[in-house]
Structure 1
C-alpha cells in the first residue's frame, strides 16, 4: 500500500500503514550552507548564540545579565541526568531494544473510511440528518377548534354577563367622576375664566349717512378701474376712470405710453367685480399727461364730472385707484392748494408735460396714476397724476389734473383722437427780480402770436387775462385756459415799465 503524498512529495506523518500503527516522521534534512552567505549573514566566530554572555553591550544596554542558577533541589528533581547534556527534554519513546516505538492508533475498525476518526481524511458532505418517517397512510385535515368569545379574549376565561355589566357601569362611573373632578379643578385653577359667558352682539348694521366716506367710496369705487399693461419688455399697473357708458376710460398718458411704444404689449382693464376686458387707445395728449382708452363692456358704472373750479383749500377729497397694484384703494385728505402748475419731463424724449394741478394730502403712490380724485359729493374733480417726494412714497404732496380741464381734453380726444392747445408762440424762462416776477421772454419766433402782438425779447410776462403768472410753467397753463383764436390781455414789464398788450392765441 502506497503512502498518500502532500504537495511537496513528502509523506504525511501519522498516516496509517495498514497495521493500525503510526509511522515516525522522516529525519530532518538540512541542505549545505553557502559559505559566502554564511560569511555575510552568519554569527561571528566563537559566538554560539544570539544571547551569548561573551557579547558585551548587547543592544546598547551593557553586558547581558543572565539569570542565577536554579537551586540544587530543583535541578536534581527536574533537570537532565548528569553527563547527558545533549539529550532533549522531550524524548521520543523507545522499546526495550532502543528502537523508536510506534504508537498504536487510538481507534479500532476502519479508520480510513471514518472522517471523524482519521485526522488526515478529506471532508465529506453527507446526507441530511433526517430520519425517514414511516408511511402512516392518508391524513385528515385538522378540524378548527372552537373560537374564543369576547369575554375569553379580554379576560382569558369565561365571565358571567352580570359581571361584565357591573364592570362597564363601574368604568362609566369612574370616567364621569374624573371629568367632574377635572372640571372643578379647572374652575378653581383659573377664577378669571367663565365658560358660560356670552358676548352681546349689535344686530342692526352700521348706519352710513349720505356723504360719509364709506357711502362715497361704495358708490364711486365701481367706476374706477385698474389698467394692466404687459409686453415682452414692459409691465405695470395704473388706474383709470369710466367717464362714458360706451366704455370710454380716462387715464394718464404715462400709464398707456409703454404699451403703445411696445407693439407686443396688451392693455387690460380690470373692474372691481373682477371682470377683465382688452382696451384700445382712443387718443393721447402727452403735453397734459391725459389719454382715453375704450373697452367693450355692458352697462358700466360711470363717474360724473364735478366743478373743479368750485373747490376751496381745505375741502375733503378722496383719492381712489390701485397704488402699488392694490386695487380699489381709497384714501382721504383735503385740498392743499389750487392752480399749482406742475411740470415733468415727457415720455422717452417727448414734449414737456405741464398742467394746472390740484394739490392734496390724500395718500397717492405709484399705481394711483389715472385714478379719480372726488369731492365730498362723489363727483370727479381731478385725475391723480404725480407726487412730490424724496423717498419714493407718499409724503402728502400729491397732484391731480383739474377735472374741468381733464373733461375738456377727454372730449376732444373722444371726438377727434387728438387735441390742440392755445399757444402764444414764445419761449420763456422763469424770472425773479426786484421789479418783476414772472416768465421772461427768451425768444420770439417770427410770425407767431407773440410777435404779432409786439412782445419783445427780454419782456417779463406777469399776467395773462385774469391769472397771475409767476413762472414759465404758470404761463403755459394760463394760456391753455383759453381757446384757440381768443384774444386775451397780457401784462408785461419792459425796461421798468408795465405794459398791456392784446394777444390773439394760436394753436400749438
Structure 2
C-alpha cells in the first residue's frame, strides 16, 4: 500500500499534541484526587470568605499520610506513559521519534528522494526467492488425507467416573490406489475409531492394518479404489538445501501447504509420547518448512511433487513451528509399509541393553572413568550383550568403530545394521577397557536395544 507523507505527518503531530496534553491532564487529575494539594505537593488554603469546617475529633491517633512520594511516583508514571506514546507511535509510522519531538517531520514532495518508490511499496514475503510451489501443491494435495481418531482410555480405579473419549487429528498419504494410507504410528496407535477424509471431502472409516512403533510408521486401509496415490521419490538422493514442500492438516486445517528446504539429513532424535512411551528415531530429514501439530503423517515432497518423507515431529519450545521439523525418509517408510501390507513382521536388530547417556556432571558425581558414553542399566538375559559378558554398570564408549557420546549413538548404530551382522563394542568394565564382537539378533518384545 502507499503511505501519504502529509497524512503521516499530520497523524504524528496529532499524536505528539495529545500525548503531551494527556500527560498534563493526568497530573491535574492526580492533584485533584489527592484531596487538596497544589502543584508543589503542599496543602491548599481555603478560599477567602469561606470557613473550613472543623475536623471531627479523632477516636484514635492516625498516621499522617506522606503525599510527596506518592505524588512524585504518579507524576513519573504519567510522564513515562507519555514518553512511551511519543516513542512507539512514531515508530509505527516509520519516523524517528527524535525528529518528531524536534519538529523535523516533513512531507516528501515531487522530485525529492524518499527511499520509497512513488508508485508502490514492495511487500517482502518470508518465502520470497523460493520456488513457486503451486505446481507441487496441485500434484500432492489430492493424495493427502486428514485422519481423525477417537479413543477411550482404560477404566480407572474409580468406576463411577466414566472414561472420557479422547480425540486426535493427524494427516496421511494415499500410498496405493486401492485404499492403503500411510501415516505415523503415534497418530493411530491408540485409536478405536478412525475417520479418513479425502481431499474431495469424502469420509471413510479406516482400519489399522499394522504399525511399526520403532520407525513410527503405520498403515490404514479404507474401502475405496481408484484413489490418487502419491508418487514415491528416493530419499537416498536428497541433498541439503533442496526444496521441501509440506502438505497436511496442521491444527486440523486440511490441505495446508508450506515450503522450505531440506535443512539437514541423518538426524537422530529421542521422542516420548503422552502415555510415557519413549523411542529413538534415526536417519531423519530435517526441514525448515513450517510443521505444526496435525501435520504428523503428512507428506514431505520434493520439487517434482514426489514423496521424500513422512512428517513425524518438531523440535519446539512453544509447541508450534520454530523451523525445526523432522520427517521419516520415504525409503524407510516404504519398506515398512510394504512389509505391513504383505503381513510380514518388521525386523529390528538389537544387542540387548538398556542404557543412559553419561554427561560430565554425572561422570564427576559418580567418579566415572569417562565423561562421555552410554551407561548400561540393564542387560537382557541370553541377548548378544549378555553372551559377550557385558553387564549392568559397564560403560559403552565405542560401537562399530564409532565413538559413543550418548545412548542414542548406540541405538542408531545398531539400527543401521541388519540381523546377523557382526559389530564390535568397546566398553569400560571393572576398571579395565575391553572390546568384544557381537552378532546382532532379532529384537524381542522388550524396550531395549
Q: Specify the TM-score bucket, using the shorter chain as the normaliser.
A: 0.5 to 0.7
**Equivalent of 1:214 in 134, 155, 161:** 134
Q: Look up the match of 1:507.
A: 443
Q: Look up the match of 2:407.
A: 472
Q: For 2:320 and 2:421, locate their aligned partners in 1 and report how far apart those are by CA, in whole Å.
A: 41
Residue deviations 1:343-396 (CA, integer Å, cap 9, x gap) = 2224534x4222112222110111101111122332222211111222221111
Alignment of 1:2-151 (within 5 A): none
Q: Look up the match of 1:378.
A: 305
Q: Look up the match of 1:412.
A: 339
Two-structure CA RMSD over aligned residues (Å): 2.6
Q: Look up the match of 1:246.
A: 178
Q: For 2:252 and 2:345, locate their aligned partners in 1 and report how far apart those are by CA, in whole Å.
A: 29
Q: For 1:345 and 1:274, locate their aligned partners in 2 and report how far apart those are by CA, in whole Å.
A: 33
Q: Look up the match of 2:423.
A: 488
- Residue 304 of structure 1 and its aligned partner are, at CA, apart by 3.3
The two structures have a TM-score, normalised by structure 2, of: 0.59
Q: For 1:492 and 1:378, locate their aligned partners in 2 and report how far apart those are by CA, in whole Å.
A: 46
**Equivalent of 2:279 in 315, 339, 353:** 353
- Residue 463 of structure 1 and its aligned partner are, at CA, apart by 4.6
Q: For 2:424 and 2:301, locate their aligned partners in 1 and report how far apart those are by CA, in whole Å.
A: 34
Alignment of 1:270-285 (within 5 A): 270-285=197-212
Change (3 A) 1:437 1:408: farther
Residue deviations 1:399-447 (CA, integer Å, cap 9, x gap) = 2122222222222222227534211101111124585633232332331
Is the contact between residue 436 and residue 493 of structure 1 (CA under 8 Å) also seen in structure 2? no
Is the contact between residue 363 and residue 395 of structure 1 (CA under 8 Å) also seen in structure 2? yes
Q: Look up the match of 1:167.
A: none
Q: Look up the match of 1:305.
A: 232
1:366 pairs with 2:302 = no
**Larger Rg belongs to:** 1
Is the contact between residue 355 and residue 375 of structure 2 (CA under 8 Å) also seen in structure 1? yes
Count of residue pairs the alignment pairs up? 292
1:448 pairs with 2:380 = no
Is the contact between residue 285 and residue 418 of structure 1 (CA under 8 Å) also seen in structure 2? no
Change (3 A) 1:491 1:298: same
**Which one has more relative contact order, counting CA pairs under 8 Å at least 6 apart?**
2
Is the contact between residue 145 and residue 173 of structure 2 (CA under 8 Å) also seen in structure 1? yes
Change (3 A) 1:392 1:346: closer
- Residue 497 of structure 1 and its aligned partner are, at CA, apart by 4.4
Residue deviations 1:6-43 (CA, integer Å, cap 9, x gap) = xxxxxxxxxxxxxxxxxxxxxxxxxxxxxxxxxxxxxx
Change (3 A) 1:283 1:417: farther
Change (3 A) 1:493 1:317: farther
Q: For 2:335 and 2:395, locate their aligned partners in 1 and report how far apart those are by CA, in whole Å.
A: 29
**Equivalent of 1:226 in 141, 146, 154:** 146
> Counterpart of 2:189 in 1: which secondary structure?
helix
Q: For 2:405 and 2:266, locate their aligned partners in 1 and report how far apart those are by CA, in whole Å.
A: 12
Is the contact between residue 351 and residue 438 of structure 2 (CA under 8 Å) also seen in structure 1? no
Identify which range, 492-501 or 309-318, moves more after superposition: 492-501
Q: Look up the match of 1:27.
A: none
**Equivalent of 1:259 in 191, 199, 215:** 191
Q: Look up the match of 1:319.
A: 246
Identify which range, 382-391 or 462-471, moves more after superposition: 462-471
Is the contact between residue 435 and residue 496 of structure 1 (CA under 8 Å) also seen in structure 2? no
Q: Unmatched 5+ residue regions in structure 1?
A: 1-210, 261-265
Change (3 A) 1:496 1:212: farther
Consecutive aligned runs of 4 or more in structure 1 exceeding 6 Å deviation: none
Residue deviations 1:259-318 (CA, integer Å, cap 9, x gap) = 23xxxxx31111112222211110122333221100122211222333323323322211
